Amino acid sequence: MANKRMFNIKIVDSDAFLDMPLTTQCLYFHLNMRADDDGFVGNPKRIQRLIGATEDDLKLLIAKRFILVFEDGVIVIKHWKIHNCIQADRYTPTVYQDEKNTLVLKQNKAYTLDSNNHNTTINTMETKCIQNVSTDIDKDIDIELDKELDIYSRVELDNAPLNTNKKSSLDDETKDNIAVIVEYLNQRAGTNYRTSTQNTIKHIKARLNEKYTVNDFKTVIDKKCAEWKGTQMEQYLRPATLFGTNFENYLNSKININNKTTVIDNNTVEKLSPEEAFKRAGLL
């Protein structure tokens, strides 16, 4: 196993990656560091325990398809070939050949399960170092990657206002609901998000189309403000996180404020009682 590994910024700087808890992100980096030259890891649970991550962190990486898991517990880093370019004279084939033979490389160099089991395609997966590895994920034709990782939701969209020269596709009711939701978030979280931001509208509209109500949005905001406000997670009190693909999980989650901590300054951490946590979150 090599002592050095590379990471592609377009993967680890995506909204889908940064929206995950820090422990989950940390686990991803450790799995990458311990993977073999084909991106396979035979003992992911041992690594998870070794670094103090939880089983939920591993499950989240699987759910978001940053890693693919096999029946025997072996995992592979889905975007290994996007991250790493290993020279042929330094490459050592994985011992997990059976698992590798169930995969294909997509056009964007990401692993995916081969539904047709084209073994001849697997056996010819490149092992040579190809210098031009700057695959443009933003132009990737892989619909699966677009849906599951939300790579297209780049940071620049967070601050991009709608083009007023184009006719709006939003009806009056949707506009009113978006205004109420964003205003409520700003009031509870102490933020200043705009109702005209494309990324905010996209996430709220998607959830409204799934028949969630304005009260559901308020419930998620209340729960996450109670749980995250005054902690390092407060930075994620934003539309892209709250109203994204984890919306249903947030809506049905219990507020975890026991032994909640809040950062008072750079060196001081204070533990709050549940009542005090609610007060700090502005819910009492």
Please report, to the nearest 10 degrees, the dihedral formed by the alpha carbons of residues 182, 187, 184, 151 taken in order. Answer: 40
The reply to whether the predicted model has a pTM over 0.85 is no
Closest residue by Cα to residue 159 from 204, 122, 193, 203: 193
> Whole-angstrom Cα distance, residue 284 to residue 129?
59
For 58, counting Cβ atoms within 10 Å of its Cβ (0-12 exposed, 13-18 middle, 19+ buried), the class is buried
> Whole-angstrom Cα distance, residue 147 to residue 176?
27
Rounded CA Rg of the chain: 21
Structure tokens that stand for 155 in this block: 């940071």
* pLDDT (tens place) for every residue of the chain, 284 residues total: 567 899 999 899 888 898 899 999 999 999 999 999 999 999 999 999 999 999 999 999 998 899 999 999 999 999 999 999 888 888 999 999 999 999 998 888 899 987 665 443 333 334 344 334 334 433 333 444 444 444 434 434 444 454 444 445 688 899 999 999 999 999 999 999 999 998 899 999 999 999 999 999 999 999 999 998 988 888 899 999 999 988 999 999 887 655 444 443 444 445 555 556 555 555 55
> Whole-angstrom Cα distance, residue 284 to residue 280?
8
